[in-house]
A and B are shown apart, each in its own frame.
Chain A
Amino acid sequence: MNAVTWITQIVEALVALTAAPLFVGWVNQCRAWLQNRRAPSIWLPYRGIGKLFMKDALIADSASPLFRAAPYIVFGLMVTAAAIIPSMGTRLPFTSVADAIALVGLLAAARFFISLAAMDIGTAFGTLGARREMLVGFLAEPALLMVIFVASMISATTALPLIAERLATQDFALYPSLAFTAVAFTMVLLAENARIPIDNPATHLELTMIHEAMLLEYSARHLALMEWAAALKLFNYACIGFALFIPWGIPPGEVGPELLAASLPVLAAKLAVAGAGLALIETVSAKLRVFRAPEFLASAFIFAVLGMLVHLLLEN
């Protein structure tokens, strides 16, 4: 560990910070194109966040200190997760501090705080959103863990950077188990990031919203941080997916600035394709009723377990 790796680490985190709103903008743009609408600018999420930072914050009288602290905690957790996930290099200082299970725990902690903050004010909508978020979360988490376990069994480690490294460097092989878990992971990604089959990120339809309902009481800089954290969460999930299923292009071994520069275009290309795919999924599918969400996530879990069983029986 020398100064260069630390600088690389900081650059990686900064890239995640700046790329996350851009990624959301790209998904929105693709979605608008697919739906024959005029696309908003790809920079729109930045402008939204910038505008919110300019405004004065309003906080409800009944808010506790937790309500004020939650945006900073959630944002901090998401930045930490972004530093841990090997999006551009596998041997960075932060990538070795936590394995994939701890990473899932970090994401769960963010969900916990966001839900607590939503319940803090005591409005009906906040509580409703928090309860739905927990419903989705507790069903999505086992599926996500199962997905990670399959990849760990193939590469014999639970550390995400090592999984990515081993999967990227081994001989070419067909893994039906990884294909199954990729489907499961996509379903978890859609559910966890409030995308269309579970939640609609574009509207404030009162009866169906999950994520938006939790943010209703926030304004100005708190809201900006929460939205930025949501964008980072989507970016993080996409990067976990890249590390597990398409790890090629992440430079293995020690990285210097020049390798980092080489991996940036690869990451950008992957994000562009993933964003377009996400927009496509969201365009062709209809939003499920809230009470069908458990069925959706149960199928994700079953896909993941099936992947594990197939790996145990057919691949060793």
Chain B
Amino acid sequence: MIARPLDVQLLNACAALLLLVSFAMLAQRRVVALVNLLAIQGGLLCMATLLLAWRSGQHHLYVSAALTFGLKVCFLPWLLYRLIRRLEVYWDTEPMLNVAGTMLTGLITVIFAFGLAQPIAALGTTAARNGLGVAVAVIFLAFITMITRRKAMSQVVGFLSMENGLFFGAMSATYGMPMIVELGVALDVLVAMLVLGVFFFQIREQFDSLDLGHLESLKENP
């Protein structure tokens, strides 16, 4: 076993915890707890970015860490809490698969993601190249979260978690995207979130619920 510097070990621990939080999201059915987990995921991402910035000496990573903290740890969770309070959605309905089934599906997906990322990571030279597998796994787990939920609110949390995964992937593969792209993505997420907030109210007005299952019946009763 090769001894590694402590900051790389801490980085790996962050990656492992990101994966764990994604699994917790898969199992969690309370919407408020889901948003808490999203905030924790943002915090871990921020910490990983800081460690990587320290490790690699890339100064623009400090900026993206600050951006992550402001947007993903503070603003978006706050916005989601506010929406939850105003829309009064606290529980998601029974997921389409039971919890154990979802977790096992998630486990198989993680194995697939790790296998997928291994050859790519082998080419990488960054300190966090092993994180790529975790990033792909987080993206897939967020997909499963979105697929198995019915409520619009939890699907949005899944979407944001997916964005976290993409961000972590970019960071571990190439020390982050160019600043202009990162700013653009952050703005996109922000705008998407605000627009979706408006959508929630529209959906609820139309169907008296945030259950997206109702959208399937749009054609039949005009």
A190 to chain B, nearest CB (A): 18
Quick check: B15 and A294 within 8 Å, CB to CB? no
Interface residues of A in 170-193 (CB under 8 A from B): 170-171, 173-174, 176-177, 179-180
Q: CA–CA, A294 to B130, complex, Å?
A: 33
Residues from chain A with a CB closer than 8 A to the CB of B103 are: 298-299, 302
Quick check: A177 and B16 within 8 Å, CB to CB? yes
Per-residue CB proximity of B1-38 to A under 8 Å, as 1/0?
10110100110110111011001000100000000000
Interface assignment of A314: CB less than 8 Å from any CB of chain B: yes
Quick check: A176 and B13 within 8 Å, CB to CB? yes
Residues from chain A with a CB closer than 8 A to the CB of B110 are: 306, 309
A182 to chain B, nearest CB (A): 13
Per-residue CB proximity of A280-316 to B under 8 Å, as 1/0?
0000000000000011001100100110011011111
Per-residue CB proximity of A145-174 to B under 8 Å, as 1/0?
000000000100000000000000011011
Interface of A is mostly: helix
Quick check: A302 and B23 within 8 Å, CB to CB? yes
Residues from chain B with a CB closer than 8 A to the CB of A302 are: 23, 103-104, 106-107
Q: A309-B114, A314-B12 are in contact. Are A295 and B133 (CB under 8 A)?
A: no
Quick check: A306 and B134 within 8 Å, CB to CB? no
Quick check: B130 and A295 within 8 Å, CB to CB? no
Residues from chain B with a CB closer than 8 A to the CB of A313 are: 114, 117-118, 130, 133-134
Partner of B100, one of A176, A295, A315: A295
B19 to chain A, nearest CB (A): 7
Partner of B19, one of A173, A295, A306: A306
Quick check: A316 and B15 within 8 Å, CB to CB? no
Number of B residues with CB within 8 Å of any CB on chain A: 30
Number of A residues with CB within 8 Å of any CB on chain B: 23
B169 to chain A, nearest CB (A): 14
User: Which chain A residue has the least Cβ–Cβ distance from B10?
Assistant: A174
Q: CA–CA, A122 to B23, complex, Å?
A: 43
Quick check: A306 and B23 within 8 Å, CB to CB? yes
Q: CA–CA, A312 to B117, complex, Å?
A: 13
User: Which chain A residue has the least Cβ–Cβ distance from B4?
Assistant: A173
B106 to chain A, nearest CB (A): 8
Interface assignment of B194: CB less than 8 Å from any CB of chain A: no
Interface residues of B in 41-96 (CB under 8 A from A): none
Q: CA–CA, A121 to B163, complex, Å?
A: 60
A163 to chain B, nearest CB (A): 13
Q: A180-B20, A294-B100, A309-B110 are in contact. Are A316 and B10 (CB under 8 A)?
A: no
Q: CA–CA, A180 to B133, complex, Å?
A: 18
Residues from chain A with a CB closer than 8 A to the CB of B1 are: 154, 170, 173, 316
Interface assignment of B99: CB less than 8 Å from any CB of chain A: yes
User: Which chain B residue has the least Cβ–Cβ distance from A314?
Assistant: B12
Residues from chain A with a CB closer than 8 A to the CB of B111 are: 309
Per-residue CB proximity of A20-50 to B under 8 Å, as 1/0?
0000000000000000000000000000000
Quick check: B134 and A298 within 8 Å, CB to CB? no
Per-residue CB proximity of B117-158 to A under 8 Å, as 1/0?
110000000000011011000000000000000000000000
Q: CA–CA, A313 to B133, complex, Å?
A: 7
Quick check: A298 and B10 within 8 Å, CB to CB? no
Quick check: A298 and B100 within 8 Å, CB to CB? yes
Partner of A171, one of B3, B19, B23: B3
Q: A170-B1, A171-B3, A309-B111 are in contact. Are A315 and B12 (CB under 8 A)?
A: yes
Quick check: B12 and A174 within 8 Å, CB to CB? yes
Q: CA–CA, A187 to B3, complex, Å?
A: 30
Quick check: B23 and A314 within 8 Å, CB to CB? no
User: Which chain A residue has the least Cβ–Cβ distance from B106?
Assistant: A302
User: Which chain A residue has the least Cβ–Cβ distance from B15?
Assistant: A314
A-B contact pairs, 24 of them (CB 8 A): A154-B1, A170-B1, A173-B3, A173-B4, A174-B6, A174-B9, A176-B12, A176-B16, A179-B16, A180-B16, A180-B20, A299-B27, A302-B103, A302-B106, A306-B110, A309-B110, A309-B114, A310-B16, A310-B19, A313-B114, A314-B15, A314-B130, A314-B131, A315-B12
A-B CB proximity, top 9 nearest: A176-B16, A174-B9, A314-B12, A298-B100, A310-B16, A176-B13, A313-B133, A314-B130, A302-B103
